[in-house]
Amino acid sequence: MSIRAKTHVVKVDEIEREWFVVDAAGQTLGRLASNVAKILKGKHKAVYSPHLAVGDYVVIVNAEKISVTGRKLDQKMYHRHTGYPGGLRSITLRDQLVRHPTHAVKAAIKGMLPKNRLGRKMLRKLKVYAGAEHPHQGQQPTVLEF
């Protein structure tokens, strides 16, 4: 007679979430995004489940001070459409960091999350700020180093 171990499947009400703060100053955009995406997905936890959003909250500060390799500042383009005919608008990464520094970081992380309602739920746990200040001190976030 063999003894079978039971597999524990985490339930939604059993999920415990933490808050982390990441300083993006001087960090490479893609490497930062992939590490943050892992935290948002919950892959760093033992209770990771691909069909649930078990990830933690991440606060990114100093988004305007990220770095990129090569000539991406001038060659990487962000596109959006106004909804009107001929309404395709494009902007370089350099201009995007000047106008909306948080959009570049958020877009990089969004691209590494699932493209469904679970990914949208994970993205809601991401808070990005251009400067060093953030309003989430009450949650007592832990500082993350990558």
First to last CA, the chain: 48
Give me the mean pLDDT over the 48-68 stretch: 95
Percent of the chain with pLDDT over 70: 99
CATH number of 17-68+101-144: 3.90.1180.10
62 Rama sector, left if φ>0, alpha if ψ -120 to 50, beta otherwise: left
| Averaged confidence pLDDT in the chain | 95
Give me the mean pLDDT over the 121-136 stretch: 97
Q: Is 90 exceeded by the pLDDT of residue 67?
A: yes
The pLDDT value given to residue 110? 98
d(CA 116, CA 136): 27
Q: Is 80 exceeded by the pLDDT of residue 82?
A: yes
Give me the mean pLDDT over the 70-83 stretch: 97
Give me the mean pLDDT over the 66-83 stretch: 97
